[in-house]
């Protein structure tokens, strides 16, 4: 029978890679915690309307990429991102009535029906944060500095912060007019989606991935020239804050971001390493979203970080996240009685937090030694009839080849711990 394969655009995270994921996730949780963000966990699927309202009718995500499933009479959508569900949860559970700002983070899977390629999947994972309650540019700076600290401390190189302001509904009115005027001269050359966008939300045209549209958009009017006084001041203060924090940035007026309800600040952390999929982190302010989802008008902002992309870039750059977990000792039992002894010693060592393993395959001595090698065992100990009779075995240091005798008695765990620590220290000194 043929094996069943995983769906296109999904990934298996195998034991060799899951250590990197664990390390990354642990680091993300710790760093978010240091910045005062607490974890929130939201459902994998939500009512479709949450995303059409929360992400925006005119976005690629809602128009083309959503996984909408029908179960009996109900229709739901698998979350394409984390913000909408998080804000929904904050509203539904009254978090916004508590002390502000509310600061939450999440690590979750997202689903988007896109063309799979390196760094672009149909099921992928995001780390994200949302901060609700502050309208000040210092909040923008705090969120950006969290993303920056994460990317920097995880060891990412060649990373650039791009910022822009896309204004508020007030200043956008004039800008939309200017865009409509600009694009209408070449309307026939735009893709079908962009022709529609021209009426509904012309700013989306700047975000189109179709090459011919990008070409036309090249000389489009720039939002920064249309900002109202308030938005302009906010952007200037953000830049001052970033400078004060020693965070370098470039202003890129082409960044408009995927969500419809972004206001003022938008930003991306981009790397040149994986071509078109270079955006590792994207975020911004969405002062209109909470009201759009039925809450009181509340300023808020956040970012989403694509974890597959982050790991891909780290791998391409040769950055090691985690050390391979080795085995401290591998027992090689020969015979029934020895197997029991090895099993007991393994169990006792494990209770002390020592990585001990023994044969569960009934293999020959040679085959067991080979397996111990594959595990990168630091020590091996053969237990046969002789060793049992003499209540003593030889510990073999697999790196140096050195052998030390050790009694197979009730002191074994204690003595082995001492030897193991001494070996660890010795190899650290080298």
What residue ranges bind ligand ATP (CB under 6 A)? 81, 112, 114, 119-121, 124, 126, 258, 277, 279-282, 304, 306, 308-309
CA distance 19 to 315: 13
Task: Report the nearest approach of ligand ATP to the CB of residue 158 (Å).
Answer: 16
Beta strand pairing status for 300-306 and 123-132?
antiparallel
Smaller CB separation from ligand ATP, 278 or 333 = 278
CA proximity to 245, closest of 138, 159, 104, 131: 138
In the chain, the N- to C-terminal Cα span, in Å, equals 53
CA 314 to centroid of chain Cα atoms: 12
Lookup: tokens for 219: 């000389």
For ligand ATP, the nearest residue by Cβ is 306
Token match 């940035």: residue?
A: 249
Smaller CB separation from ligand ATP, 228 or 274 = 274
Smaller CB separation from ligand ATP, 29 or 120 = 120
Task: Report the nearest approach of ligand ATP to the CB of residue 103 (Å).
Answer: 19
Task: Report the nearest approach of ligand ATP to the CB of residue 307 (Å).
Answer: 8
Angle between helices 137-153 and 15-34 (to 10 degrees): 150
Residue 324 DSSP code: P
Task: Report the nearest approach of ligand ATP to the CB of residue 291 (Å).
Answer: 21
Smaller CB separation from ligand ATP, 284 or 333 = 284
Residue 158 DSSP code: S
Task: Report the nearest approach of ligand ATP to the CB of residue 299 (Å).
Answer: 19
Smaller CB separation from ligand ATP, 110 or 216 = 110
Helix, strand, coil content of the chain in percent (nearest 5): 45, 20, 35
Smaller CB separation from ligand ATP, 165 or 368 = 165
Contacts of 150 (CB under 8 A, 6+ apart): 27, 28, 31, 127, 305
> Which sign, positive or negative, has the C-alpha torsion 422, 423, 424, 428?
positive
Task: Report the nearest approach of ligand ATP to the CB of residue 268 (Å).
Answer: 7
Task: Report the nearest approach of ligand ATP to the CB of residue 129 (Å).
Answer: 12
Smaller CB separation from ligand ATP, 137 or 282 = 282
């Amino acid at each position: 029978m043929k094996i069943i394969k995983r769906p296109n655009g999904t990934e298996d995270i195998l034991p060799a890679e899951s250590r990197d994921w664990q390390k990354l996730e642990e680091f993300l949780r710790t760093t978010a915690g240091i910045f005062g963000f607490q974890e929130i966990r939201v459902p994998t699927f939500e009512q479709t309307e949450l995303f059409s309202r929360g992400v925006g009718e005119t976005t690629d995500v809602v128009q083309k990429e959503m996984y909408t499933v029908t179960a009996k009479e109900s229709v739901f959508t698998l979350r394409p991102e984390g913000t909408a569900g998080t804000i929904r949860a904050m509203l539904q559970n009254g978090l916004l009535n508590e002390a502000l700002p509310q600061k939450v983070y999440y690590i979750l899977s997202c689903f988007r029906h896109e063309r799979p390629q390196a760094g672009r999947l149909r099921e992928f994972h995001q780390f994200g944060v949302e901060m609700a309650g502050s309208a000040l540019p210092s909040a923008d700076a705090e969120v950006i500095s969290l993303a920056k600290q994460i990317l920097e401390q995880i060891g990412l190189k060649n990373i650039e912060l791009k910022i822009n302001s896309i204004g508020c509904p007030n200043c956008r009115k004039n800008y939309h007019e200017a865009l409509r005027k600009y694009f209408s001269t070449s309307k026939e050359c735009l893709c079908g989606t962009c022709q529609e966008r021209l009426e509904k939300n012309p700013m989306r045209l700047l975000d189109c991935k179709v090459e011919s549209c990008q070409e036309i958009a090249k000389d489009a009017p720039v939002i920064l020239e249309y900002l109202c006084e308030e938005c302009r001041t906010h952007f200037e203060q953000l830049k001052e804050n970033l400078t004060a924090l020693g965070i370098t940035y470039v202003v890129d007026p082409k960044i408009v971001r995927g969500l419809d309800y972004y206001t003022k600040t938008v930003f991306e952390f981009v790397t040149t390493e994986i071509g078109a999929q270079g955006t590792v982190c994207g975020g911004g302010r969405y002062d209109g979203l909470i009201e759009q989802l039925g809450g009181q008008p509340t300023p808020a902002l956040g970012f989403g970080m694509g974890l597959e992309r982050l790991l891909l870039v780290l791998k391409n750059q040769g950055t090691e996240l985690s050390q391979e977990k080795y085995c401290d000792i591998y027992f090689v039992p020969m015979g029934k009685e020895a197997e029991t002894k090895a099993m007991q010693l393994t169990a006792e060592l494990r209770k002390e937090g020592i990585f001990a393993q023994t044969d569960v395959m009934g293999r020959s001595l040679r085959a067991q030694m080979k397996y111990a090698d594959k595990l990168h065992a630091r020590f091996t100990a053969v237990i046969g009839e002789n060793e049992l009779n003499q209540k003593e075995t030889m510990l073999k240091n697999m790196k140096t080849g050195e052998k030390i005798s050790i009694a197979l008695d009730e002191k074994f765990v204690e003595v082995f711990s001492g030897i193991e620590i001494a070996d660890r220290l010795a190899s650290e000194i080298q």
